[in-house]
Amino acid sequence: MLAPLKEIVTRYGLLAQKSLGQHFLFDLNLTGKIARLAGDLTQGTTIEVGPGPGGLTRALLENGAAQVIAIEKDRRCREALSEVEAAYPGRLQVIEGDALKIEAAHLGVAPRRIVANLPYNVGTPLLIGWLKSIRSFESLTLMFQKEVADRMAAPVRSPAYGRLSALVQWQCEVKKLFDLPPAAFTPPPKVSSSVVRLTPKPVTEPADFALFERVTASAFGQRRKMLRSSLKSLGDAETLLTQAGIEPTARAEEIGYAGFAALARALQERTTTP
């Protein structure tokens, strides 16, 4: 029988470290809810980033995960996680390391899914890395700062719509599952959090990932300006916009992911056409 999480944290002296974005979930109802919302875990591999003392990890295993591969940067969590490994023999593998440097798409076996209460300081770069090989995953069920989750789900023309919205919506269906107040965590963060499910969708607007990022970075870099002006750094913005079928007087917040994909294709055509 595993000891309660709070006891584990005390036993191994796992005082939360701010630099590692450590805000632990001890409430079994919440960790259970996240694990259930992550879908069927009985096939393939469930990848968890930042298991910490192992609260969500336990819930994933309790909810039938066939195999969990958990990546944790904080070596102090090793013993706490060893206890979970021993309680679920052969079903948990812990990788000690930085998730930013590990190619999650190659871990374990398909179907792969990622489930994580993410460290907020690296949540967005981790997500962008996973989006690059999104078709390696059947779903991502992730906890972010609420403000970041809102941006991912924001519709075109809304104040929160931006680079991240276009990029995520280009690749995935986005569903906000539920919000959590700061008090749900130990120690409480300054802001509220949200759990989001991202499901990869078929490619309807093919474009090069890096060029899509470049185009959205320029467009939203000056989001109040007309695109013919904000895209100047890409060179001959008016031609690019015409090729993409976008009014040069439009603004970034009015353009959905299909428009940015068309711009990325126009940019690519320019670089590949002699």
CA atoms within 13 A on the CB side of 196: 27
Nearest Cα to Cα of residue 53 among 76, 86, 87: 76
Among 6, 18, 42, 98, which residue interacts with ligand SAM (rule: CB under 6 A)?
98
Residue closer to ligand SAM (CB basis): 119 or 200: 119
In the set 44, 50, 162, 259, which binds ligand SAM (CB under 6 A)?
50
What is the size of the binding site for ligand SAM (CB under 6 A)?
22
Cβ 104 to ligand SAM shortest distance, Å: 11
Minimum distance from residue 70 beta carbon to ligand SAM (Å): 8
Q: Is residue 162 a contact residue for ligand SAM (CB under 6 A)?
A: no
Instruction: Pick from 8, 9, 23, 154 the residue near ligand SAM by CB under 6 A.
Output: 23
Q: Which of 8, 21, 151, 216 binds ligand SAM (CB under 6 A)?
A: 21
Burial of 90 (0-12, 13-18, 19+ CB in 10 A): exposed
CB under 6 A: which stretch of 70-78, 103-111, 169-177, 248-256 binds ligand SAM? 70-78
Q: How far is the CB of 258 from ligand SAM (least distance, A)?
A: 33
Helix (H) or strand (E) holding 217, with range, is helix 209-221
107 vs 156, beta carbon nearer ligand SAM: 107
Chosen residue from 9, 72, 251, 266 binding ligand SAM by CB under 6 A: 72
Contact 198, 176 (CB under 8 A): no
Place of tokens 């353009």: 255
Q: Are 14 and 76 in contact (CB under 8 A)?
A: yes
Strand partners, 142: 116, 196
Interface with ligand SAM, residue 22, by CB under 6 A:
yes
| CB 140, min distance to ligand SAM, A | 15
Query: Which of 115, 120, 1 lies closest to 59 in space, CA to CA?
Result: 115
Range list of β-strands (E), 74-204 = 92-96, 112-117, 137-145, 172-180, 185-186, 193-200
> Is the separation of the CB atoms in 207 and 156 below 8 Å?
no
Contacts of 186 (CB under 8 A, 6+ apart): 16, 23, 24, 25, 26
- The SS3 assignment for 181 reads coil
Is residue 44 close enough to count as binding ligand SAM by CB under 6 A? no
Q: Is 141 in the site for ligand SAM (CB under 6 A)?
A: no
- Decide if residue 71 touches ligand SAM (CB under 6 A): yes
* Min CB(15)–ligand SAM separation in Å: 12
Q: What are phi and psi of 73, to 5 degrees?
A: -85, -30
**Residue 122 is a binding residue for ligand SAM (CB under 6 A):** yes
Q: List Cβ neighbours of 133 (8 Å cut-off, separation of 6 or more).
A: 103, 105
User: Taking CB positions, which residue lies at the least distance from ligand SAM?
Assistant: 50
Q: Which residues touch 273 (CB under 8 Å, ≥6 apart)?
A: none
- Least distance to ligand SAM, CB of residue 45, Å: 17
Q: How far is the CB of 171 from ligand SAM (least distance, A)?
A: 22
Please give the residue ranges that form the binding site for ligand SAM (CB under 6 A): 20-25, 49-52, 55-56, 71-74, 98-100, 117, 119, 122
